Every structure is written in C-alpha cells, then in structure tokens.
Amino acid sequence: MNLEFVSSPSVVSRETGRELGGAMVGEPTGGIRPAWPEQSVKAPLLGACTATIHEVWSVDQPLTSGHSEGIAWRRSEGLLFGVIELHETDFTSSANCSSLQAASEEAYRRIFRLLDAEQLPHLWRVWNYLAEINLETNGLERYRQFNIGRQDAFLECHRGATGNVPAACAIGLAGSPLSIAFMAGRAPAVPLENPRQVSAYNYPADYGPRSPTFSRGALAYLPAQELLFISGTASIVGHQTVSPGDVSGQCRESMANIAAVVDEANRLCRSSPYILSELSYRVYVRHAADFPLLREVLMPLIGDADAVFVQADICRSDLLLEIEAFASHTLEKS
C-alpha cells in the first residue's frame, strides 16, 4: 500500500475512489463536498492565488467508509483517517469542567472507541482546531482547558500520556467548532522528540494543570513506505518562548527546531535521510501583516519545498507562527 499526499485548488472533480481523507484549507466557496472525510480549516490563506486549497491523502487499495458517533472515517487494510466536529454548546459547563474540556474529552473518547472497534488502535497524527484558543475563561486559558480534556481521555482509554503519543498540532480558528482530524494505523508510530526542547508532555505546571499530549514528530510505517510527520513547531527552546515580538527570529528558531526533529528522524529512520527542502509545510501566521517578512525569511531555509500559509492563532499568545510538515520515503524491499 502507498499513501500519496496531494494539494490542489480543486480535487473533487478528480475523485478516484482511492481518497482516504483530507482537509479544505482557506475560505469556503461552496460547491460539492467530497465523499471522503474532509476537515474544514476555515481561515484566510496568505499569498495564495486561490481562496481554497484541498489537501487529500490517497491510497492504492480499496477503502471502506463509515460514520461512528459523529466521526466520518475511511480506512484501508492498515490505515484510517477520520474527522469529528463537536460544538461546545452541546456540553454542560461546571465549576470543575468547562464545556470545551468536556467536548475535548468526549471527542477523544469517541476516537479511541472507533480505533479499538476497527482494530487500528494507534494514533499517528492529529490536527486539532478550536475557537479563541488564547482566551481565558473561568480562570484558565482555553488551550489549557483543551489539554485537560485531551489528556483525561488518553488516560481513561488506557493510552499513555507520555512517550508513545501522536504527532499533533492545536491551532485557533475564529468561530471554529472543536474540529479534530486524525490518522491511525495498526502498528504504533515511532515518536520523535527534539533535544532542543523539553518534551511537551513533560512541561512544568506553569503551562497548565495538564501537559500537552503530543510528540514533536513521528515516523509511521506502511509495508513499503515510511511517513514522517512533524508536529506544529514554534519558537520554543527548553519550554520557554524565544524571540517574543520578533517574527523573523521566531521563524528561524522554529526552523531550527524542525531541523532538530529531522535530525532525530534521520537517526531512527529505515529509509534514506530526510532533508528540509523535500518536506511539505503548513505555516500558521498569527498576524497577516507579518506574512511578507515571514515568507522572506522562511523560503531560503526550505528551498523549493511546498508551503501553505494560513492566518490563525497559536497555542501561546506570545507565539507569532507555528510550522508543521510531512514527507514520505519508499522503503527498499528486503
């Protein structure tokens, strides 16, 4: 089985029946929704010649589709992609649990129930989006509320909250429901950490009652293919933000962190080494006015690589950008 990633202004007209899932990134323009699970990342694209980009993961074997507890999903023999959206207004807030926390915990419980039922129990990559990520309500920032719900679900469903956890991002989108897309497989991924950073799941209590439950990256395996997922990566060294207020400095620091994760991947990978210029990047930019300078700094660092720029909020209020990436290599037959 081979997994292919394609990014295009329009993919619906080219439907082949091999689409596992994907994302619509940008401003929706209406029209036909695809038959496969598609996460809506409704945010302005920056520097693009189109208002919308469709990203699609496709495989070269038959697929099965389904719906389970609000999750739209498709799977192949050893791989599953799903999307769930929950509205916080459907969950009751209490003194000890906000509606966002309750929705986050429930979303992950449903995901784990689906993966267990489909016997594909291992999360490889997760994309999390929520509204007003930096807003403080009930005495706690909303990102930290999300982290409580996410980690509680991991523990309740007998998944560890440290070590072997998926690559992930958590991004703020204006007016978004809690939206989670995920890719999972039969075998566990190999988690990657960054020697320049404290692992997110070991952050001190200064960053909230629960640490974020994700790895800095992951290597995942199909029979003849190695996949490299790099989580949302920002200007953090140790556990502290570096270069506050300086978008150029934050861009360089973020790419230094991505380079460190790539180095770790190359230490552990079964394929040829990865290089920065072959990755596909998605770049989240807090302030649209920073985009020209950010692009000027970033592009020489990534060469001819594909990059999509999206205006969105980052998980810390002093972070101006976050970068995630993906690449794949063919494995030699033994």
Q: What is the pTM of this model?
A: 0.97
Helical packing angle, 247-268 and 291-302, nearest 10°: 30
Q: Determine which one of 193, 278, 322, 324 is catalytic.
A: 322
How is 150-191 classified by DSSP, letter by letter? Answer: HHHHHHHTT--SSSS--EEEEEE-TT--EEEEEEEESS--EE
For residue 238, the 8-state DSSP code is B
For residue 104, the 8-state DSSP code is H
| Contact assessment for residue 326 and residue 56, using Cβ atoms and an 8 Å cutoff | no
Radius of gyration of the chain (CA): 19
Question: How far from each other are the two terminal CA atoms of the chain, in whole angstroms?
Answer: 16
CA dist., res. 280 & res. 157, Å (int): 32
Nearest to 82, CA basis, from 148, 149, 36: 36
What domains can you pick out in the chain, each with its CATH number?
A: 3-330 (3.30.1330.40)
Q: Which two tokens stand for residue 202?
A: 């070991």
Q: Residue 227 CA to chain centroid, in angstroms?
A: 14
Examine the residue annotation and report whether 322 is marked as an active-site residue of this protein: yes
Along the 334 residues of the chain, how does pLDDT read in single tens digits? 899 999 888 655 567 889 999 999 999 877 778 899 999 999 999 999 999 999 999 999 999 999 999 999 999 999 999 999 999 999 999 989 999 999 999 999 999 999 999 999 999 999 999 999 999 998 999 999 999 999 999 999 999 999 999 999 999 999 999 999 999 999 999 999 999 999 999 999 999 999 999 999 999 999 999 999 999 999 999 999 999 999 999 999 999 999 999 999 999 999 999 999 999 999 999 999 999 999 999 999 999 999 999 999 999 999 999 999 999 999 987 6
- What are the b/e assignments for 81-90, b being 16+ CB within 10 Å? bbbbbbebee
Q: What is the pLDDT of residues 16-72, one digit of tens each?
A: 889 999 999 999 877 778 899 999 999 999 999 999 999 999 999 999 999 999 999
